[in-house]
C-alpha cells in the first residue's frame, strides 16, 4: 500500500489520458523489455573495437531474444484455450488504436 501511496502523484496524470492513448503507452512495455535486454548485453561487454562489432553483437542478441520468445510462443501454441499469449511474429508488433491515440494527442 505504501508504494501505491508514494507513487500516486506520478500515476494519476496517466489516468488523465483517454483509453486509446493509455493502451498505446502500456503496450510499449515489450519495447522497454527489449531495450533492457540489449542494454544489459552492452553493459556486460564493456567496450568494442569498432562500431561493426557493436552492431554485430546487438544483431546476434536480437536473434537470440526473438528465438527465445518464439520458443515460448511455440510452447503456448499447443495449449488451445489455455494459451496465454497471442501468436505474433515479433512480440509487441501489433498495437491497435494508434489513430485514436494520435487524435487524443493533437
CA distances 81 to 54, 71, 75, 84, Å, are: 42, 18, 13, 8
Q: Which three cell numbers stand for residue 42?
A: 552492452
The rounded mean pLDDT for the chain is: 79
pLDDT at 94 over 80: no
Check residue 28 and report its DSSP letter: T
pTM (predicted TM-score): 0.49
Question: For cell 515479433, what's the residue?
Answer: 90
pLDDT in tens, 18-50: 888 887 777 766 778 888 899 998 888 878 899
pLDDT in tens, 4-25: 888 888 888 888 888 888 877 7
The domain total for the chain is 1
pLDDT, position 58: 92
Containing domain of residue 24, as a range? 2-105
Amino acid at each position: 500500500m505504501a508504494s501505491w501511496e508514494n507513487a500516486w502523484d506520478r500515476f494519476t496524470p496517466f489516468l488523465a489520458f483517454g483509453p486509446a492513448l493509455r493502451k498505446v503507452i502500456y503496450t510499449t512495455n515489450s519495447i522497454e523489455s527489449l531495450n533492457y535486454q540489449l542494454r544489459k548485453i552492452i553493459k556486460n561487454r564493456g567496450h568494442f573495437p569498432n562500431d561493426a562489432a557493436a552492431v554485430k553483437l546487438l544483431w546476434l542478441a536480437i536473434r537470440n531474444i526473438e528465438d527465445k520468445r518464439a520458443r515460448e510462443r511455440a510452447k503456448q501454441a499447443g495449449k488451445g484455450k489455455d494459451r496465454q499469449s497471442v501468436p505474433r511474429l515479433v512480440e509487441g508488433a501489433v498495437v491497435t488504436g494508434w489513430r485514436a491515440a494520435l487524435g487524443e494527442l493533437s
